[in-house]
């Protein structure tokens, strides 16, 4: 297997290497910095917790492994126009993030989606208008049956505590696919459900526990709401980009947000907690770990965490998404009556959408997700570019091949994310060990969208989790 190196990576390796023996280490080992609360991770969850502590006059520091804030939100400017390479869309039922955006002075704009949608599934290609995919009637009925049964099962889930459902063990013994295979038998319907799973969660239907899917959907007003644009959770975006939520919070917090510090070890004792990272050690009364379960599981804890917590983080992998954006001179798809929306299991791009930002150049966004994203992760950027553009051209026209600019973001390859859009639980995990998802372990509190009671996996859930973790700490101070 060939290994490619970029200059940047070599440089980082060398820099990290030299730092390990540097002055910072020795100084902090002797005299660790002290605050009341340490927060690990400067994504939306961690920064929300920091804001809450700041408001309460509690001293804190936020330790972030990356050299930027925002976690799974990441924006890129092209001239004055901001494109989101991570979390982007918000919906009208997401009160926290809409309020935060207002407070920080961000502007909302509706997701463009006028025109016909392309669909290609199980070898059939068609276009249609409106919200009902053009599928054989029998397939539509089976998909509808799936949605009904899923909604019915979802109503059994106690909000935020799927492990307490009466049927938790039964739901959790199934993968999503082993569940719907019993009543969804048609080829097109199965293809649609596989693709829906892949494009909504970045995960294949045969990887994810049914109980994990129910945790997701029941916390977010159901699968139909999650995938809807009008009045749904894909309704709007922020003109300034979602990362600006984090950069604006972070500007106010100043040097209490420390970048470039991967946390390696957290040790509790009777008096407090020591947090050891590359570049120094800190001491506090409490710590809020605001990273995905998968990454939380990579930190060394002393004493060892309860076994249920360890088992859970071992069973909570992440999906995979490569988000690909192409900018054009003209909106050729709109000129032909298409919205830019594409649903397909025929190639590398499973889902596409018009990504034009208010006042910006015409743009399309294509998503590689689940096993497709895994297959394309780590490939040469040029090859990905060619593949994505060729795929878009098959539906929207030759013009797709010649963008003004193209860029993409491979989330599974990011060492401080390792997958997107969120973590999910494999069978047998959530019913047995789910109770450890947000239960504090001594002085350690857990945040991150995967610990949210509402809007699991969304930016909205990240905010809720940060508020909740900060409230826990304040209550126990």
CB of 19 to a copy of itself, least distance (A): 8
DSSP 239-295: TT-THHHHHHHHHHHGGGEE-S--EEEEEE-SS-EEEEETTEEEEESEEEE-S-HHH
Q: Which of 213, 288, 320, 355 binds a copy of itself (CB under 8 A)?
A: 320
State which of residues 145, 311, 346, 471 lies at the interface with a copy of itself (CB under 8 A): 311
Q: Does 377 engage in binding with a copy of itself (CB under 8 A)?
A: yes
Q: Which residues contact 254 (CB under 8 A, 6 or more apart)?
A: none
Give the shortest CB-417-to-a copy of itself separation in angstroms. Answer: 11
Say whether residue 212 binds a copy of itself (CB under 8 A).
no
Q: Hey, which residues between 402 and 421 contact a copy of itself (CB under 8 A)?
A: 412-415, 418-419
378 binds a copy of itself (CB under 8 A): yes
CA max distance for the chain: 71
Determine which residue in the list 147, 426, 471, 474 makes contact with a copy of itself, applying CB under 8 A.
426
Q: Is 224 in the site for a copy of itself (CB under 8 A)?
A: no
366 is an interface residue for a copy of itself by CB under 8 A: no
| Alpha-carbon distances of 58 from 64, 89, 285, rounded to whole Å | 19, 32, 11
Q: If we measure between CA atoms, which residue out of 150, 200, 198, 216 comes closest to residue 375?
A: 198
CB 160 within 8 A of CB 416: no
Interface residues for a copy of itself in 170-199 (CB under 8 A)? 172-175, 177-178, 181
Confirm or reject binding of residue 435 to a copy of itself (CB under 8 A): no
Alpha-carbon distance 266 to 258, whole Å?
Answer: 17
State the minimum distance, in angstroms, from the CB of residue 425 to a copy of itself. 10
Under the binding rule (CB under 8 A), the answer on residue 471 touching a copy of itself is no
Nearer to a copy of itself, 203 or 462 (CB): 203
For a copy of itself, which residue of 310, 360, 397, 471 counts as binding (CB under 8 A)?
Answer: 310
Cα(83)–Cα(75) distance, integer angstroms: 5
| Three-class SS of 119-141 | EEECCEEEEECCCCCCCCHHHHH
Task: Tell me: does residue 206 bind a copy of itself (CB under 8 A).
Answer: yes
Identify the CA nearest to 64 among candidates 267, 255, 268.
255
Instruction: Tally Cβ neighbours within 10 Å of residue 129.
Output: 12
User: Total residues at the site for a copy of itself (CB under 8 A)?
Assistant: 84
Pattern 135-174, binding to a copy of itself, x per CB under 8 A?
Answer: ----------------------------------x--xxx
Of residues 440, 453, 471, 474, which one binds a copy of itself by CB under 8 A?
440
Half-sphere exposure in the Cβ direction for 58 (13 Å, CA): 24
Alpha-carbon separation of residue 146 from 35, 38, 143 (angstroms)? 51, 44, 5
Sites for a copy of itself among residues 257-296 (CB under 8 A): 262, 264-265, 267-270, 274, 276, 281, 294
- Residues 234-263 touching a copy of itself, rule: CB under 8 A, are 262
1 binds a copy of itself (CB under 8 A): yes
Cα angle for residues 432, 435, 439 (degrees, 5° grid) = 150
Q: Which stretch binds a copy of itself (CB under 8 A): 39-47, 203-211, 229-237, 381-389?
A: 203-211
Of 108 and 167, the one with the shorter C-beta distance to a copy of itself is 167
The two tokens of residue 185 are 């038998």
Query: Hey, which residues between 4 and 63 contact a copy of itself (CB under 8 A)?
Result: 4-6, 9-10, 12-13, 16-18, 20-21, 25-30
Q: Smallest distance, Å, CB 358 to a copy of itself?
A: 34
117: β partners: 128
Instruction: Assign 3-state DSSP to the chain and report helix, strand, coil percentages, each to 5.
Output: 40, 20, 40
């Amino acid at each position: 297997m060939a290994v490619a190196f970029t200059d940047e990576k070599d440089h980082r390796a060398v820099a990290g290497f030299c730092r390990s023996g540097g002055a910072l280490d020795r100084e902090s080992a002797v005299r660790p910095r002290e605050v009341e609360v340490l927060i690990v991770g400067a994504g939306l969850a961690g920064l929300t917790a920091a804001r809450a502590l700041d408001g309460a006059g509690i001293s804190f520091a936020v330790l972030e492994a990356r050299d930027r804030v925002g976690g799974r939100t990441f924006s890129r400017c092209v001239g004055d126009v901001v494109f989101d390479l991570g979390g982007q869309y918000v919906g009208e039922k997401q009160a926290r993030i809409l309020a935060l955006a207002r407070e920080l002075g961000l502007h909302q704009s509706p997701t463009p989606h006028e025109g016909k949608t392309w669909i290609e599934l199980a070898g059939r290609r068609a276009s249609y208008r409106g919200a009902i995919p053009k599928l054989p009637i029998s397939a539509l009925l089976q998909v509808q049956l799936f949605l009904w049964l899923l909604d019915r099962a979802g109503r059994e889930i106690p909000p935020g505590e799927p492990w307490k459902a009466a049927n938790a063990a039964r739901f959790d013994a199934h993968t999503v696919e082993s569940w719907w295979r019993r009543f969804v038998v048609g080829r097109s319907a199965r293809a649609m459900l596989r693709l829906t799973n892949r494009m909504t969660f970045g995960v294949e239907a045969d990887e994810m526990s049914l109980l994990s899917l129910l945790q997701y959907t029941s916390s977010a007003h159901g699968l139909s709401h999650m995938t809807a644009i009008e009045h749904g959770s894909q309704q709007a975006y922020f003109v300034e980009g979602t990362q600006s939520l984090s950069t604006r919070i972070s500007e106010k917090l100043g040097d209490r947000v420390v970048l470039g510090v991967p946390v390696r070890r957290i040790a509790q004792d009777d008096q407090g907690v020591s947090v050891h990272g590359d570049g120094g050690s800190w001491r506090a009364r409490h710590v809020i770990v605001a990273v995905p379960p998968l990454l939380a599981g990579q930190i060394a804890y002393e004493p060892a965490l309860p076994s249920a917590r360890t088992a859970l983080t071992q069973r909570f992998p992440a999906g995979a998404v490569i988000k690909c954006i192409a900018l054009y001179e003209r909106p050729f798809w709109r000129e032909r009556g298409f919205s830019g929306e594409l649903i397909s299991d025929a190639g590398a791009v499973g889902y596409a959408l018009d990504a034009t930002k208010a006042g910006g150049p015409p743009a399309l966004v294509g998503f590689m997700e689940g096993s497709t994203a895994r297959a394309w992760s780590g490939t040469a950027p040029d090859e990905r570019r060619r593949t994505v553009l060729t795929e878009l051209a098959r539906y929207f026209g030759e013009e797709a091949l010649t963008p003004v600019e193209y860029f993409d973001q491979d989330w599974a390859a990011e060492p401080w994310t390792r997958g997107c859009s969120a973590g999910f639980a494999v069978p047998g995990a959530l019913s047995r060990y789910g109770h450890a998802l947000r239960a504090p372990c001594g002085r350690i509190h857990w945040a991150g969208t995967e610990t949210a009671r509402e809007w699991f996996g969304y930016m909205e859930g990240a905010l809720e989790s940060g508020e909740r973790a900060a409230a826990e700490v304040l209550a126990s101070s």
